[in-house]
Structures are given as C-alpha cells and as structure tokens.
Structure 1
Amino acid sequence: MSNFWVNLYKFPRFLISVLIGFFLTTFQPIFKLLKNKKDRILLTTVIITITVLCYRIIQIMTDNI
C-alpha cells in the first residue's frame, strides 16, 4: 500500500513534465518561424486575424454587436 502513495506523490511532477514537454514540442516550430522577419510578420498577421475573427463570431453569436 505504501507503494501506491509513493506513486501518487510522483504524479504531480510527472504531470508537470508531460505538460512542459507538450508545450515545448508544440511551440518549437513557431519559435523557429519567429527567427525570420518575413515569417514573423506573417505569423503575427495570422494570429491577429484568427483572434479578431473568433471575437467577431462570438459577438455575433451572443447578439452583442
């Protein structure tokens, strides 16, 4: 039974390391794109466009025009 508690105490550290690994793996291509000025401008434009589009869609869906 003590082995169960040892494993249970290790779980938060495991969860944090998995989440950090996920975000590093996911955002590594984005960080590579940010090194080039042309790609940085394109990526910024795409992110702003998607954010504004989602904002407008939510406004229209909730009738807050």
Structure 2
Amino acid sequence: MSNFWVNLYKFPRFLISVIIGFFLTTFQPVFKLLKTKKSKLLVITTITITIVLFYRIIRIITDSI
C-alpha cells in the first residue's frame, strides 16, 4: 500500500513533464522558423493575426450572450 502513495506523489511531476514535453515538441518547428528574418516576420504576423482573430470572435460571442 505504501508503494501506491509513493507513485501517487510522483504523478504531479510526471504530469508537468508531459505537458512541458508536449509544448516543446509542438513549438519546435516554430522555433526553427524564427532563425531567419523573413520567416520571423511571417511567424510573428501569423501569430498576431490569429490572436486578434480569436479575441474578436470571443468578444462577439460574449457580447451576444
């Protein structure tokens, strides 16, 4: 039974490492694109447009409720 509690205490650290690993592997191609100036401009523009688009969509949805 004590083995169960030891494993249960290890779970939060495992969960955090899985989440960090997911984000690192997901954003690794983006980090590679940021090495050249032309790609950097494209990535920053795309991210900015995406954030503004999501903001406006959420704003429209919440105003209509």
Q: TM-score range by the shorter chain?
A: 0.7 to 0.9
CA RMSD of aligned residues (A): 1.5
Higher relative contact order (CA 8 A, sep 6+): 2
Deviations 1:8-50 (A, max 9, x none): 0111111111111111111111100100110110011111111
In structure 2, runs of 5+ residues without a counterpart are none
Alpha-carbon distance in structure 1 between the residues aligned to 2:37 and 2:2: 55
Say whether 1:33 aligns with 2:33: yes
1:4–1:51 CA distance, 2 compared to 1 (3 A): same
Counterparts of residues 8-27 of structure 1 (less than 5 Å): 8-27=8-27
Under a length normalisation based on structure 2, what TM-score does the superposition of the two structures give?
0.84
Larger proportion of helix:
2
Deviation beyond 3 Å, 4+ runs, structure 1: none
